[in-house]
Structure 1
């Protein structure tokens, strides 16, 4: 019996390591794209931000919900003026010196005419947000990168913003001490897939123990209801790690993230399809949690049918396992 139980445990471990895990439960308003999660310390309320409706957001008493829609962060849109482009994407939420920051992207699908903006609030209540506009991360046709999917990370006293999508993939730039604007003009490439159309985006930097983990989404994110990607080309979540916040980031096999490296954390399986748009949240009860959006194939493949997913994530082996 012990041998059989051990064999089953090993099989289950292998199954999990390969990037398969069913999402935790979600109730209430669970349709999201590109979620971002934070917990208000004053009362323990969870807030979840997402793409669409000029950055939608919702609140709940726990990560499971029930999630209640609040409204829009910027109901009048962004002050960033890119002619014809007024779609706000991919929020990232942080608490900076007692103020809540939501970074967002202004772009349109498939274009490099993009910019990262910032809105702030001291409470996260509806109609409490102030739009500060551009932070200095912009891109244009012919740029090395696409300036979307901003993600803030504080290392010691230095703020870094990770960003980028397709083209040259993922970059990093240092911000000023208030995390409101780029400090200088230099940026560095921290992840790049040389194959195909360089489908990497949605980076999220997280420190656990001695390592800095660079999570990102790889593959085709959207439009599954009109055209499914070839098997394996759909969204999935990957990771590389480094002993410093600025890299070099490498995967579990030692391959650099800038040389097409990347270890799979979560991918399509069973009725879960195309997980991505992820982040990591340190829950006071559950510990580190991977959150993301995904398609439930029993419900539908449309972008507005994507669901909020989450899993506790284990770093004990040195590599994140859901």
Structure 2
């Protein structure tokens, strides 16, 4: 299938945008001015309200998991929808007695050895009393999931007294596999001591050598009082592991906007090793606050993109997907939208391309993606 990619070189233009757009339905919007840019392409619309999306491509369909009551699951033959809700990962509250037991955050689902593994977060805003749990099922459509409980705890709970759980925050899990050994690693972390990685045991529901895990710090902001990095994702392409993360304020904008550029943006670094060290395009270590901005607020339409993932393309086209706030819709957490872009690579660094105005484009006008997830590539 031939899918041309049109690259547009657009000058850096920064213009003020008044967020209180003239819409009767949005009279409750914050009336505050922020800045935007045309440096990034518009997103292709996913046509689904979602926060912290996770997409798994399996058996010619897309399965989307998002934070919500018992972790909702959606299915579509096309990443642009229409999406059909299948049910939930959990059939009741999590077996972990921590945080938001009925409404887990930031799920990530992979497929290995005939099982689907959904890693989910339990926490509360501003708290380090957090857990990453995991549930499994052999069949993704309709079969009940088994909740195995906590993989790691921070703040309180079994194992929370083990380093680095004593200084980190157990939220926003993602999983990556070493290309050479096949070893699975859990990436996690938010604010506090940044983003970390620990090896998973072969059964994928616990950490290897749990009493003394072989942990490494992947990204950190040492010189700032606030350390707003979270939502790590790791992809692989042409000999490099890419560590993606969200940086800045994610949400709750009805209480006020941060300074321009302090809202969510999507950043990346890379390494030849799955364990790092990772550096950005300028050579700055991610441990020293580095991170190349790949996607940010743009065109007066997209605000605070983040909560990302990357799908690897069967024809060499990687896809970056994320949630964002469409300024023509609103700035509340529940108004976040699914967006996506193809990725080009310039000197080995990812650059989003394409995109269509999400205020005017329908799902029917966007073609399906020839992509498969990393779990399919490794374990087919």
Common fold, TM-score beyond 0.5?
yes
Q: Residues 93-172 of structure 1 correspond to what in structure 2 (within 5 A)?
A: 93-135=109-151, 137-140=152-155, 143-155=166-178, 156-172=181-197
Query: Partner residue of 1:91?
Result: 107
CA contact (8 A) 1:86 1:107 kept: no
Stretches of structure 1 lacking an aligned partner (at least 5 in a row): 1-8
CA contact (8 A) 1:104 1:149 kept: yes
Question: Among 254, 260, 268, which residue is 1:231 paired with?
Answer: 260
**By how many angstroms is 1:13 displaced?**
8.6
SS at match of 1:261: coil
> CA–CA distance in 2 between the matches of 1:154 and 1:47?
20
Q: 1:244 to 1:13 in 2, by over 3 A?
A: farther
SS at match of 2:44: coil
Q: 1:56 to 1:147 in 2, by over 3 A?
A: same
Query: Partner residue of 2:304?
Result: 274
Query: Partner residue of 1:12?
Result: 10
1:303 matched to 2:333 = yes
Query: Partner residue of 1:215?
Result: 244
Q: 1:263 to 1:126 in 2, by over 3 A?
A: same
> CA–CA distance in 1 between the matches of 2:114 and 2:345?
29
**By how many angstroms is 1:188 displaced?**
1.6
**By how many angstroms is 1:10 displaced?**
7.5
Q: 1:313 to 1:19 in 2, by over 3 A?
A: farther
CA contact (8 A) 2:91 2:144 kept: no
Q: 1:88 to 1:19 in 2, by over 3 A?
A: farther
CA contact (8 A) 1:223 1:303 kept: yes
> CA–CA distance in 2 between the matches of 1:10 and 1:302?
31
SS at match of 1:146: coil
Moved over 3 A (4+): 9-15, 83-87, 283-286
Q: TM-score normalized by structure 1?
A: 0.90
> CA–CA distance in 2 between the matches of 1:56 and 1:10?
37
Question: Among 275, 291, 294, which residue is 1:246 paired with?
Answer: 275
Question: Among 312, 315, 319, which residue is 2:345 paired with?
Answer: 315
1:33 matched to 2:51 = yes
- RMSD over aligned CA atoms reads 2.1
SS at match of 2:251: coil
Q: 1:108 to 1:85 in 2, by over 3 A?
A: farther
> CA–CA distance in 1 between the matches of 2:316 and 2:109?
20
SS at match of 1:64: coil
> CA–CA distance in 2 between the matches of 1:80 and 1:131?
9
> CA–CA distance in 1 between the matches of 2:142 and 2:345?
36
**By how many angstroms is 1:316 displaced?**
4.7
1:177 matched to 2:195 = no
Q: 1:226 to 1:98 in 2, by over 3 A?
A: same
**By how many angstroms is 1:315 displaced?**
2.5
CA contact (8 A) 2:234 2:244 kept: yes
> CA–CA distance in 1 between the matches of 2:295 and 2:311?
16
**By how many angstroms is 1:277 displaced?**
0.3
SS at match of 1:80: coil
**By how many angstroms is 1:89 displaced?**
0.6
Higher relative contact order (CA 8 A, sep 6+): 2
Paired residue total: 308
SS at match of 2:253: coil
**By how many angstroms is 1:193 displaced?**
1.2
> CA–CA distance in 1 between the matches of 2:328 and 2:225?
30
What whole-Å deviation, never above 9, does each CA across 1:257-284 have from its counterpart, x for those lacking one?
A: 0000000010001210000000101244
> CA–CA distance in 2 between the matches of 1:250 and 1:35?
26
SS at match of 1:258: helix
Query: Partner residue of 1:58?
Result: 74
Query: Partner residue of 2:41?
Result: 21
What whole-Å deviation, never above 9, does each CA across 1:138-163 have from its counterpart, x for those lacking one?
A: 11079311100011111132110000
CA contact (8 A) 1:87 1:108 kept: no
Stretches of structure 2 lacking an aligned partner (at least 5 in a row): 1-6, 14-37, 157-164, 353-380
What whole-Å deviation, never above 9, does each CA across 1:10-39 have from its counterpart, x for those lacking one?
A: 833989xx9612111333xx0000000111
**By how many angstroms is 1:317 displaced?**
2.4
